[in-house]
Structure 1
Amino acid sequence: MNATMGAHRADRATQVAGSMSLAAEVRAKCFALVGDAVDVLVSCHAAHKGYLSGYFSIVHDLNPRYLSAVVATRDRVALVVSASDAGPALEETGDPAALFRYGFFCFEQVDGTGADGYDAAGFASFDEALLAALREVAGDARTIGIDRSGDDRAWNVIAQGMKTRFLTDITDAITRARRHKLPGEVARVRQATRLVETGLLDVARQFAPGMTEQDMAAIIAAGMVAGGAIPRFVSVTSGPRSALADAYATARRVAPGDLIRIDAGCIYQGYGSDMARTFVFGEPDAEQARCYAAIRAGIDYELEVIREGVDVAGLFDETVRVVRENGIPSYRRQHVGHGIGLGGGYDMPVLTPQTKDRLEAGMCLCVETPYYRIGWGGMMIEDTILVTPDGHEPITTIPRDLIRLG
């Protein structure tokens, strides 16, 4: 084994150990929220399976309907996976006894390579594998807590197959657990954010006349992959297209005077990023400068007042007011930010005028004040922060200025 391969294996082992350790902390937090009466946690939700086990499956990206589950007690965890997913899952967990596979898939192996467990026999169906995992891991546990996020498949299977057990809904507890981030979760959100920041700075450095939206998106996506992340979305829109909010990059060439709005995020070890900056090809005209100053005033205000205890609806109202008073009297928004954490969607709270909630220390938030005007263009500033008792800790680090290209 050469030195490069040895270093890779060591780095990989460190990463896996970190993911498993963080998942153990998450499980402890979830058990604390559900209380002593609950003996075992079960979830079929794609992100929550990774949240509780540390294993995030690519098969969920390939097939959103893929059936899998995590079964966890306070001291044991098992995964129910398809036969094809068993190989990657075993690489992460290192424990064949923790995998309950179903279906059929063929792995051949070389003798003496430590590949035992990759081609083991599986159960005929997901339902059988789930019940077997529960009987093995949970033993004589009486109360089974089931996460019903997404669907009721696990609830129905367990209710029919283990009729002597008491089932309880833990969906709300999982949602509450996600609101506050552990240090390991913040570190992963931070790294995912750093990769987007690097991509934005690379676009500024590498920009040349004649570049297309797709050229810029490729720079950002390549940096994400090189940094060990999975590109989740890279929305690069220019000129009038920059008003289209969430849209894929096209072969449109950027022209002098164009606004270029880039909103991007990736998933790093299961945790996501979401940030945005606005560029202009050349010097901004008076209208561009006026509108940018307005949305900049709004997000600067939002960041200044955020701290534990702030009322979400009031924060929304005041942020919109500041944008209106600083140059866009017609400014409207449905939200001015949202929670972030596990990849694949928003965490709570979403910063809307209808949200009846207060900010709490330990929340990771994306704060934003986008502006979209069809026929003219759009602009956006979006930062990620960690809420603290007396303010916030920045996760996004690059300046919020309008970035000039060319």
Structure 2
Amino acid sequence: MMPTTQIERTLSESDLDLLVGSSVENVFYSAKMYSVATAGLGEAAFSLWSADAGGPYLVMPAREMSSLFDMGADPEGVYPYGATNIYTGDSLSELDEDILELQESGSFDDPIDALATAIDELADGDRIAVEQQGFDPASYAQLEDALEGYDIEEATEYFYDLRKVKSDEEIRRLRRSAEITESAMEEAMETLEPGMTERELANEWRTRVSEKGGKPIDGFLTVGFGSRTAYTHPLPGDREIQEGDLVRWDGGCRYGQYCSDIGRTFAFRSAEDDDKRKYEALYAGLEASLSEFGDGVDTGTVFESGVDAVRSSGVDEFSEFEPFHLGHGIGVEIYDPPTIVTDAGTLESGMVMCVEPPYNELGSGGFLIEDEVVVTDDGYEKLTDAPDTLPIVE
């Protein structure tokens, strides 16, 4: 998903000979490769970009070659490792032939041998950056031993910088991911009735996400009723909805491997005036933060504007409002840089950001209003649109 010119520029400006990705997210981002074995079973895969030979190149399990075609990946070269345990029949399709050709192109015994060979062949110099996240300590030590004489540095920050500003295709996927999450929440809320549990409501959302072509992110959905809305991340449980309860959502899905993350707060059948005031004060904070958006704006300016708006709202509990942050970037991971806090850098046109002023009060309840937006030259474009007053679900 990364524009070729962007990584070539990074290699040149950083005086790097080679950039290596190892996490599931960065291998997909830089080489469009994703497979069940690497994403779900913990098998290693690596992407490589060379200042001299271009890219991407891939180190991956030999038995996962079909995933390249499933994903539409088109690497410059592949370094397979491990056995395939796949037998060949008499009637092979054209795709079968292509997969077989890749499998038989030569396989290494283990991924580190394959990666070390790839680095030796592709690096025209000795300065390389390797993301460490996809290694266990023993494997990384094995790689260091195999690459004696190379100047190796950690690559994570390079990938974070590359991923900050999104391409048109990335924004298209992020937009659809956000649309799926938002509409699924709204439709799930229409099913809410007395006696329904948090878990049942969460399952209504998951069903709708899948029907719309999204993939719920494992472990990333919180639903809380009543006083449980005060918990930062309430896991959907057996608490039954009651009239007057707040309902707090936080979660997202993946679409084309790109994440969404939105937050919503509703009231069931009736709402206290105090809850309405708190919601509107937090929404004012959201709008104040967004009013500062634009290319080159400091994240601290965005943060301070949102915090000031909430503190000056007239809600007594908010006079010392002090959140950890007011949002974050989003992309192939739920959290991409930058974070909306002081001293976290500047916004750039093409970033996709989640903006969220939260409030949690144990014994009472909590609120979350979180929207996704694209940063533009002089403002923003909303991908989702939270209500400006506390919505009451009948």
TM-score band, normalised by shorter chain: 0.7 to 0.9
Correspondence for 1:310: 297
Correspondence for 1:258: 245
Q: Aligned partners of 1:247, 1:87: CA distance in 2, in Å?
A: 39
User: Structure 1 residue 283: deviation in Å?
Assistant: 1.9
Q: Aligned partners of 1:398, 1:313: CA distance in 2, in Å?
A: 23
DSSP 3-state at the match of 1:129: helix
- RMSD, aligned α-carbons: 2.7
User: Structure 1 residue 297: deviation in Å?
Assistant: 1.2
Distance 1:52 1:159, change over 3 A: same
Q: Does 1:338 align with 2:338?
A: no
Distance 1:382 1:97, change over 3 A: closer
Q: Does 1:369 align with 2:357?
A: yes
Paired residues of 2:285 and 2:306 also in contact (CA < 8 A): yes
Percent of pairs identical after alignment?
26
Paired residues of 2:163 and 2:331 also in contact (CA < 8 A): yes
Paired residues of 1:297 and 1:322 also in contact (CA < 8 A): yes
User: Structure 1 residue 280: deviation in Å?
Assistant: 0.7
DSSP 3-state at the match of 1:184: helix
Distance 1:103 1:284, change over 3 A: same
User: Structure 1 residue 55: deviation in Å?
Assistant: 1.6
Correspondence for 2:112: 127
Correspondence for 2:9: 32
Paired residues of 2:34 and 2:67 also in contact (CA < 8 A): no
Correspondence for 1:88: 67
Correspondence for 2:223: 236
Paired residues of 1:339 and 1:349 also in contact (CA < 8 A): yes
Per mean C-alpha deviation after superposition, the further-off stretch among 191-200 and 242-251 is: 242-251
Q: Does 1:280 align with 2:267?
A: yes
Q: Aligned partner of 1:245: which letter?
A: T
TM-score (norm 1): 0.84
For residue 26 of structure 2, the aligned residue among 48, 51, 59 is 48
Q: Could you list the runs of 5+ residues in structure 1 that have no partner in the other structure?
A: 1-21
For residue 378 of structure 1, the aligned residue among 366, 370, 386 is 366
User: Structure 1 residue 97: deviation in Å?
Assistant: 8.4
Correspondence for 1:12: none
Q: Aligned partners of 1:245, 1:42: CA distance in 2, in Å?
A: 36
Paired residues of 2:287 and 2:306 also in contact (CA < 8 A): no
Q: Aligned partners of 2:245, 2:386: CA distance in 1, in Å?
A: 22
Q: How far does the alpha carbon of each residue in 1:95-117 deviate from its partner, in whole angstroms, 9 at most, with x for none?
A: 79843332334234542223233
User: Structure 1 residue 199: deviation in Å?
Assistant: 0.5
Per mean C-alpha deviation after superposition, the further-off stretch among 283-292 and 76-85 is: 76-85
Q: Aligned partner of 2:9: which letter?
A: A
Correspondence for 1:348: 337
User: Structure 1 residue 198: deviation in Å?
Assistant: 1.3
User: Structure 1 residue 263: deviation in Å?
Assistant: 0.8
Q: Does 1:145 align with 2:128?
A: yes
Q: Aligned partners of 2:387, 2:116: CA distance in 1, in Å?
A: 52
Q: Aligned partner of 2:383: which letter?
A: I
For residue 187 of structure 1, the aligned residue among 172, 178, 196 is 172
DSSP 3-state at the match of 2:354: strand
Paired residues of 1:323 and 1:331 also in contact (CA < 8 A): yes
Q: Aligned partners of 2:263, 2:388: CA distance in 1, in Å?
A: 9
Distance 1:291 1:60, change over 3 A: farther
User: Structure 1 residue 253: deviation in Å?
Assistant: 1.4
Paired residues of 2:225 and 2:246 also in contact (CA < 8 A): yes
Q: Aligned partners of 1:75, 1:128: CA distance in 2, in Å?
A: 21
Distance 1:384 1:163, change over 3 A: same
Paired residues of 2:21 and 2:155 also in contact (CA < 8 A): no
For residue 279 of structure 2, the aligned residue among 263, 285, 292 is 292
Correspondence for 1:68: 45
Paired residues of 1:42 and 1:144 also in contact (CA < 8 A): no
User: Structure 1 residue 341: deviation in Å?
Assistant: 1.2
Q: Aligned partners of 1:228, 1:125: CA distance in 2, in Å?
A: 36
Q: How far does the alpha carbon of each residue in 1:239-263 deviate from its partner, in whole angstroms, 9 at most, with x for none?
A: 1111112132112211111000011
Per mean C-alpha deviation after superposition, the further-off stretch among 280-289 and 79-88 is: 79-88
Distance 1:203 1:80, change over 3 A: same
Q: Aligned partner of 2:247: which letter?
A: I
Distance 1:299 1:95, change over 3 A: closer
Paired residues of 2:132 and 2:140 also in contact (CA < 8 A): no
User: Structure 1 residue 318: deviation in Å?
Assistant: 2.6
Q: Aligned partner of 1:331: which letter?
A: F
Paired residues of 1:143 and 1:168 also in contact (CA < 8 A): no
DSSP 3-state at the match of 1:133: helix
Paired residues of 2:58 and 2:75 also in contact (CA < 8 A): no
User: Structure 1 residue 188: deviation in Å?
Assistant: 1.2
Q: How far does the alpha carbon of each residue in 1:81-128 deviate from its partner, in whole angstroms, 9 at most, with x for none?
A: 234433323533577984333233423454222323356463211111
For residue 200 of structure 2, the aligned residue among 191, 212, 215 is 215
